[in-house]
Amino acid sequence: MFSASHRLHNDRFSDGDNRELYGKCNNPHGHGHNYTVEVTVSGQVDRATGMVCNLVDLDACVHRAVLDRYDHQNLNCLPEFKDKVPTTENLCVHVFEILQREMGSAHLQNTSLSKAKLERIKFDETMMNSFEYSGGAEPRR
């Protein structure tokens, strides 16, 4: 879980169009969410450990790559959203790409994560809104 703020606004649209499209999420002062992130991995179950990957390794990776980066941030101020509206859909895609790179990176080759495949990222934005992304296609809402 992490907390972050954002304002949904597209500079290519008029202020009126932004208000109509994004509603209260277009508040000029932004608004915040307590996001819940769910990470799904797959792979062979290791006979010795009984796990696809060690959850301590996975939690450490998510904490370092995602939570440390986004917790208590204004998403609009981050470089990845310089030219992109920081919707939760876009955040979900970006986090998937970050974790996919992290899990395949050299510094994790000696951990159980090197054998796991990232399958899906799911974000709960509110009790009523959740988004998931599995790579290669647009997020489902």
Active site residue 77: no
Q: What is the DSSP string of 84-112?
A: S---HHHHHHHHHHHHHHHHTSGGGTTSG
Catalytic hit among 29, 72, 107, 138:
72
Active site residue 38: no
Catalytic hit among 25, 80, 97, 132:
25
Catalytic hit among 80, 97, 102, 125:
125
Active site residue 63: no
Residues classed as catalytic: 25, 72, 125
